[in-house]
Copies of this chain bind each other. A is one copy, B any other.
């Protein structure tokens, strides 16, 4: 029997997605599940939904910045703001999709390397050079990564994946699916824990 999954949708510009990326494997493991990592482009979905980046709202913006910093202490996960925010995530997402296809064993290390570059080291992962640096740090060939980031098949795949996420009802990051049940936000992870323990309610 195939192992049960926990689908984890994330955008590399999402601080809450970063916090979730540091905790989702332990949560899945606790319940005998394996994480399926799904990078996508949140910006495209925001346009469709009529929403914006959290930090762009007059009151919700400053609150969210503070809340994100506070989450670092709450979850005991190091955090700093990237030098550019919000950040362009196409390059990082394309590199991830390619590694998932071509070097599946390297995919999770790459995701952590990119997310940590952004939110633990404060680098701009919108830059191709930063994505390549992250890839190199886990042993990937920088020339390969440089090429795939600009490749048409990866551009197309990212569009397809983002559309598929939207078709599934994903409108934020992080976003999770446990069997048919969807959860939005790192602050739903305790509910997900309860959901998996009790088998839903």
Residues of chain A whose beta carbon lies under 8 Å from any beta carbon of chain B = 45, 48-51, 57-60, 62-63, 66-67, 70-71, 73-74, 166, 169-172, 182, 184-185, 187-188, 190-191, 194, 201
> Can you list 16 A-B pairs, Cβ within 8 angstroms, ordered by A?
A48-B58, A49-B58, A50-B57, A51-B57, A51-B60, A59-B171, A60-B171, A63-B171, A63-B182, A63-B184, A71-B191, A73-B201, A74-B191, A74-B201, A187-B187, A190-B190
* Chain B residues, Cβ within 8 Å of A182: 63, 66
Closest residue of B by beta carbon distance from A172 = B60
What's the minimum C-beta distance from A191 to chain B, rounded to whole angstroms?
5
Pick from A45, A57, A60 the residue with the most CB of B within 10 Å. Answer: A60
* Contacts A57-B49, A58-B48, A172-B60 given; does A188 touch B187 at CB 8 Å: yes
Contacts of A66 in B (CB 8 A): 182
Q: For residue A59, which residues in chain B have a CB less than 8 angstroms away from its CB?
A: 45, 48-49, 166, 169-171
Copies in the complex: 2
Q: B187 touching A74 by the CB < 8 A rule? A: no
CA distance A172 to B70 in the complex (A): 18
Q: Please report the C-alpha to C-alpha distance between residue A94 and residue B59 in the assembled complex, in whole angstroms.
A: 25
Nearest CB of chain B from residue A42's CB, rounded to whole Å: 12
* Separation of A8 and B187 alpha carbons in the complex (Å): 20
Instruction: List, in ascending order, chain B residues with CB within 8 A of A63's CB.
Output: 169, 171, 182, 184
Q: Which residue of B lies closest to A190 (CB)?
A: B190
Q: A67-B184, A184-B67 are in contact. Are A57 and B171 (CB under 8 A)?
A: yes
